[in-house]
A and B are shown apart, each in its own frame.
Chain A
Amino acid sequence: MSLLGTARRRQSTHAPADARELGAAVVRDLDDREVRLRELWRDRPAVLVFLRHYG
């Protein structure tokens, strides 16, 4: 790791070909309940905004 966990070499982003792996990821809601991401787009499309960090 380097300063503040920054990357030493410039990285590239890699948009996934599909959302199957992403859909299997488990996150938590604000009440600390586990949610599998796929649940968010099971019935309609979802816009996922990945935040950089809070603050």
Chain B
Amino acid sequence: MQLHRDRDRFEAAGVRLVLIGQGTPAQARHFAETLNVDLPIFVDARREAYRAAGTKVGTVGELLGPRSVLRGVQRAVTDRVYPGRTVGHPAQLGGVLVVRPDDSIAYAHLADDASDNPPNDEVLAAARAAAQR
């Protein structure tokens, strides 16, 4: 999770950056306060939005594969974010969508495994393009 550091850049681009998580509002609030995340968070307890967004549920290999473990270690070192107790469906994978007011999808990157996150600059470029149209 690095996007919250770029919040101002997304705001300047004229787009709204929001997080969608699982669990309950109280769990999401705890997450936000613990990691000092200053972004709007919405919870999707039934994972209705996750399904509509086209995200997938990972296999054991996709969650625990060497690629994921290595990147997880790397992130823990660089970001000082340590895997904690899991809240939500443990195998649910995430993703990023950029949606325009006319309901068109400007950009989609849906995670193929647990370590598959798009570069922030790629998302920002898509967001800027979406706001200019």
Contact = CB atoms under 8 A, between A and B. Distances in A.
B3 to A, nearest CB: 6
B54 to A, nearest CB: 4
B43 to A, nearest CB: 5
Q: Interface on chain B toward A: helix, strand, loop, or mixed SS?
A: mixed
Given A6-B91, A19-B99, A51-B1, A45 B18 contact: no
A2 B90 CA distance: 12
Interface of B: 1, 3, 10, 14-23, 25, 27-32, 40-45, 48-50, 52-60, 62-63, 83-101, 103-106, 108, 110-112, 114, 123, 127, 130-131
29 contacts: A3-B60, A6-B57, A7-B58, A11-B58, A13-B110, A14-B110, A15-B108, A18-B105, A19-B104, A21-B52, A23-B103, A26-B48, A27-B42, A28-B25, A30-B32, A30-B41, A35-B42, A40-B99, A41-B103, A45-B15, A46-B98, A47-B3, A47-B18, A48-B20, A49-B20, A50-B55, A51-B22, A55-B86, A55-B87
